[in-house]
């Protein structure tokens, strides 16, 4: 390690004095103009991780659902999964080292993680469409090269596409070809094969309006359109001319429970929204009376797991199916999955890294956050079994096994992927002959509300029980319990966000009025007991 060269280069990516950042729910996130040093240092860290794992490591420059002037960075581990927790700690340590301590911090990480510094390193880089992303990805490259790493810059990619590239490269192409064409080819082939089994292909199932949040999803869906069969017509809105995530995108639609701006919705038309880096998807429609209906990640998980269970039943295989959710999952969805579908449901902390990990325990692990971030994982053994059955079985059983095989290829098993999930959902709706209204009617969501509260230091709140109980500050959980008791079918929790400088509040109850009121009262308790700043929460 040429420590002098590193120190010299680091001076042109100097850390602002006193700035402390944490590797949060999905990496580092803050205002773009505070991130140059973090990018350079994550380039350095990616090289160390690559040397240690003898694998290609990914670096994605994005702040996903956050506002346009934010940015962020996250590292992608060898199989396309999120960075290992022990390396998140190294990342935080490295990002916060003062200039004069940087070389020492690097040496300490190398020693602690037993990195063989003579090993080659290879890093792949992707970025979203934010105006700040190109410059920041150059800083990542600066960090990679000063430590002697090789790199490939994919330029503009969705986050899940970068995860896919990493997985392809580290499986010697077994997972797919590590090019953008390879990605489109893999998904579109699986989609075409799966859709061939659909007996009905009426127009009502085949036109989809997509709000692309003015982000990278628009570019990539435009490219992919040429690979999709004519039967599926995808109409793009918010395709990049306006501000990213501004009054549009999956996060806006989910948290405000209303349509995005910039989309023309007619009654009963099937619509969906991606978020800023196209790793989340939310469906919705307006009925003939103009009422908005949201179909979130919970209902997506329900549709997908019921489809998977039907196929397994058809081929007579008793592979285990498990569903993983977070505390944000609507109470009705959990009840429906457990009581009607008889599927085991587990709750983890927020962040796909936690859900992904839990989902790996099943033959078929379905994980979705209510915000529309999720995918399905197939264990190696389950995948091998399904591929073998697809060759051996005939008639109806053979058809079901082949469909499952196509589903394996259609899901991005490295991480939640809006494009891949959209194609899975479109295929299932067509195969089952389901309208969006029939899908929506599977169960009725409990009315709910999400709010944000500004506090001086959100880390004063710590939680347990998959974020459903507050441990600190003392007294806050008791206050929440008392408020929850005032309403029927009610539940509420609070947690510090890992991507924004806010505390998130979630409440559900028997009516929208009560959910709103409970969310407001809990917000007030947070404001009063956890050091609220700025304007008090308003009813
Ligand atoms: C990221 C994570 C998601 C998480 C979301 C919100 O999404 O990948 O798993 O649900 O942040 O996290 P928090 O509530 O901690 O702010 P994205 O789409 O922004 O990458």
Ligand 1 center–CA 307 separation, angstroms: 27
| Domain annotation covers residue 434 | no
- pTM, two decimals, is 0.96
Ligand 1 center–CA 206 separation, angstroms: 30
pLDDT at position 206: 83
CATH number where 139 lies: 3.40.120.10
Stretch (H or E) spanning 353: helix 352-359
What are phi and psi for residue 239, nearest 5 degrees?
-100, 25
Q: Specify burial of residue 181 (Cβ count, 10 A radius: 0-12, 13-18, 19+).
A: exposed
Give me 446's structure tokens: 């409990």
| Domain annotation covers residue 272 | yes
Top mutation candidate among 26, 279, 348 for ligand 1, by most atoms within 8 Å of CB: 26
> Are both 20 and 103 inside the same structural domain?
yes
CB distance 431 to 206 below 8 Å: no
> Are both 14 and 150 inside the same structural domain?
yes
Bridge-based pairing of strands 28-31 and 56-61 is: unpaired
| Domain annotation covers residue 164 | no
Handedness of CA 170, 174, 175, 178 (dihedral sign): positive
Which residues are tagged catalytic?
A: 64
Of ligand 1's listed atoms, the one at least distance from the Cα of 328 is: 10
DSSP line for 80-149: S-BPPHHHHHHHHHHHH--GGGHHHHHHHHHHHTT--TTS--EEEEEE-S-TTHHHHHHHHHHHHHHTT-
CATH number where 324 lies: 3.40.120
pLDDT at position 296: 98
Q: What is the dihedral of CA 402, 405, 406, 412, to 10 degrees?
A: 170
Ligand 1 center–CA 26 separation, angstroms: 6
Annotated binding site for substrate: 369-371, 495-499, 504
Q: Give residue for tokens 């209902």.
A: 299
> Are both 344 and 303 inside the same structural domain?
yes
Buried b (16+ CB within 10 A) or exposed e, 74-101: bbbbbebbbbbeebbebbbbbbbbeeee
Give me the chain's average pLDDT, please: 95
DSSP 455: B
Which residue segment(s) compose the domain that 493 sits in? 448-530
> Are both 259 and 239 inside the same structural domain?
yes
Stretch (H or E) spanning 378: strand 374-378
The DSSP bridge partners found for residue 347 are: 325
CB distance 176 to 182 below 8 Å: yes
| Domain annotation covers residue 536 | no
Ligand 1: residue whose CA is nearest its atom 9: 351
> Are both 332 and 457 inside the same structural domain?
no
Of ligand 1's listed atoms, the one at least distance from the Cα of 500 is: 16
d(CA 455, CA 473): 13
Bridge-based pairing of strands 374-378 and 448-453 is: unpaired
| Domain annotation covers residue 170 | no
Ligand 1 center–CA 223 separation, angstroms: 26
d(CA 25, CA 30): 12
CB distance 494 to 458 below 8 Å: no
Of ligand 1's listed atoms, the one at least distance from the Cα of 355 is: 9
Rounded to the nearest 5 degrees, what angle is found at the Cα of 137, between the Cα atoms of 119 and 32?
Answer: 130
Last residue of a domain, one of 121, 156, 191: 156
d(CA 21, CA 37): 11
CATH number where 484 lies: 3.30.310.50
Last residue of a domain, one of 291, 307, 324: 291
| Domain annotation covers residue 254 | yes
d(CA 3, CA 348): 41
Top mutation candidate among 22, 23, 24, 25 for ligand 1, by most atoms within 8 Å of CB: 25
Of ligand 1's listed atoms, the one at least distance from the Cα of 496 is: 15
d(CA 17, CA 407): 50
Of ligand 1's listed atoms, the one at least distance from the Cα of 371 is: 10
Ligand 1 center–CA 232 separation, angstroms: 30
d(CA 250, CA 79): 26
> Are both 205 and 245 inside the same structural domain?
yes
Question: HSE-up of 216 (CA within 13 Å, CB side)?
Answer: 31
- How many structural domains compose the chain? 4
Mind listing the pLDDT tens digit for each residue in 355-367?
A: 999 999 999 999 9
Q: Give residue for tokens 């003015």.
A: 214
Q: How far from each other are the two terminal CA atoms of the chain, in whole angstroms? A: 57
CB distance 250 to 281 below 8 Å: yes
| Domain annotation covers residue 342 | yes
pLDDT at position 203: 45
pLDDT at position 199: 66
> Are both 20 and 102 inside the same structural domain?
yes
> Are both 89 and 129 inside the same structural domain?
yes
Ligand 1: residue whose CA is nearest its atom 2: 351
Give me 420's structure tokens: 């891949």
Bridge-based pairing of strands 469-472 and 28-31 is: unpaired
- pLDDT per residue rounded down to tens, the chain (539 residues): 888 899 999 999 999 988 999 999 999 999 999 999 999 999 999 999 999 999 999 999 999 999 999 999 999 999 999 999 999 999 999 999 999 999 999 999 999 999 999 999 999 999 999 999 999 999 999 999 999 999 999 999 999 999 999 999 999 999 999 999 999 999 999 999 999 887 654 444 589 999 999 999 999 999 999 999 888 999 999 998 899 999 999 999 999 999 999 998 999 999 999 999 999 999 999 999 999 999 999 999 999 999 999 999 999 988 999 999 999 999 999 999 999 999 999 999 999 999 999 999 999 999 999 999 999 999 999 999 999 999 999 999 999 999 999 999 999 999 999 999 999 999 999 999 999 999 999 999 999 999 999 999 999 999 999 999 999 999 999 999 999 999 999 999 999 999 888 999 999 999 999 999 999 999 999 999 999 999 999 98
> Are both 152 and 17 inside the same structural domain?
yes
SS3 507: strand
> Are both 8 and 142 inside the same structural domain?
yes
**Which residues, 6 or more positions from 128, have their beta carbon under 8 angstroms from its beta carbon?**
61, 62, 63, 64, 156, 158, 159, 215, 216, 276, 277
d(CA 127, CA 159): 8
Mind listing the pLDDT tens digit for each residue in 231-279?
A: 899 999 999 889 999 999 999 999 999 999 999 899 999 999 999 999 9
Top mutation candidate among 371, 416, 494, 502 for ligand 1, by most atoms within 8 Å of CB: 371
> Strand locations in 413-466, DSSP E?
448-453, 462-464
| Domain annotation covers residue 177 | no
| ipTM reported for the complex surpasses 0.85 | yes
> Are both 50 and 144 inside the same structural domain?
yes
Ligand 1 center–CA 447 separation, angstroms: 22
Give me 221's structure tokens: 């869906």
Provide residues with CB under 6 Å of ligand 1.
25-26, 64-65, 275, 279-280, 350-352, 369, 371, 373, 497-500, 504
Rounded to the nearest 5 degrees, what angle is found at the Cα of 165, between the Cα atoms of 136 and 420?
Answer: 105
CB distance 208 to 271 below 8 Å: yes
> Are both 409 and 334 inside the same structural domain?
yes
């Amino acid at each position: 390690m040429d420590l002098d060269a590193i120190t010299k280069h680091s001076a042109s990516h100097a850390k602002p004095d006193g700035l402390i950042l944490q590797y949060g729910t999905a990496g580092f996130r803050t205002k773009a103009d505070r991130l140059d040093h973090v990018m350079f240092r994550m380039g350095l860290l990616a090289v160390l991780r690559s040397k240690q794992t003898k694998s290609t490591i990914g670096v994605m420059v994005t702040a996903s659902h956050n506002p346009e002037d934010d940015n962020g960075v996250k590292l992608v581990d060898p199989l396309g999964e999120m960075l290992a927790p022990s390396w998140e700690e190294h990342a935080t340590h490295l990002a916060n080292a003062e200039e004069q301590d940087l070389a020492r911090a690097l040496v300490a990480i190398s020693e602690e993680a037993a990195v063989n510094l003579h090993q080659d390193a290879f890093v792949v880089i992707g970025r979203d469409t934010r105006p700040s992303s190109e410059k920041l990805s150059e800083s990542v490259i600066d960090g990679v090269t000063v430590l002697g790493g090789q790199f490939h810059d994919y330029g503009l990619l969705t986050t899940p596409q970068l995860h896919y590239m990493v997985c392809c490269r580290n499986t010697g192409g077994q997972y797919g070809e590590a090019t953008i064409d390879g990605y489109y080819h893999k998904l579109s082939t699986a989609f075409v094969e799966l859709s061939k089994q659909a007996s009905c292909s009426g127009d009502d199932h085949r036109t989809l309006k997509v709000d692309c949040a003015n982000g990278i999803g628009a570019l990539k869906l435009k490219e992919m359109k040429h690979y999709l069969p004519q039967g599926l017509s995808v109409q793009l809105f918010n395709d990049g001319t306006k501000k990213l995530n501004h009054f549009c995108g999956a996060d806006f639609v989910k948290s405000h429970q209303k349509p995005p701006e910039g989309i023309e919705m007619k009654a009963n038309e099937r619509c969906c929204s991606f978020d800023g880096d196209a790793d989340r998807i939310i469906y919705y429609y307006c009925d003939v009376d103009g009422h908005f209906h949201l179909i979130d990640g919970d209902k997506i998980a329900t549709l997908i797991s019921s489809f998977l269970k039907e196929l397994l039943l058809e081929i007579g295989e008793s592979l285990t199916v498990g569903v993983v959710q977070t505390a944000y999952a609507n109470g009705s969805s959990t009840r429906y999955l457990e009581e009607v579908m008889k599927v085991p449901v587990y709750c983890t902390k927020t962040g796909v890294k936690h859900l992904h990990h839990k989902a790996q325990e099943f033959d078929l692990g379905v994980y979705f956050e209510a915000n529309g971030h999720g995918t399905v994982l197939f264990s190696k053994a389950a995948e091998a079994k399904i591929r073998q059955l697809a060759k051996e079985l005939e008639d109806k059983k053979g058809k079901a096994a082949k469909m499952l095989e196509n589903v394996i290829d259609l899901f991005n098993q490295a991480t939640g992927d809006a494009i891949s999930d959209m194609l899975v959902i479109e295929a299932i709706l067509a195969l089952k002959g389901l309208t969006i209204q029939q899908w929506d009617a599977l169960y009725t969501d409990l009315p709910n509300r999400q709010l944000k509260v500004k506090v001086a230091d959100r880390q004063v709140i710590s939680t347990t029980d998959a974020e459903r109980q507050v441990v600190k500050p003392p007294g806050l959980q008791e206050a929440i319990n008392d408020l929850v008791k005032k309403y029927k079918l009610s539940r509420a929790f609070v947690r510090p966000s890992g991507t924004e400088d806010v505390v998130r509040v979630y409440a559900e109850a028997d009516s929208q009025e009560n959910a709103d009121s409970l969310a407001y009262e809990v917000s007030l308790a947070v404001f009063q007991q956890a050091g609220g700043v700025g304007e008090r929460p308003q009813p």
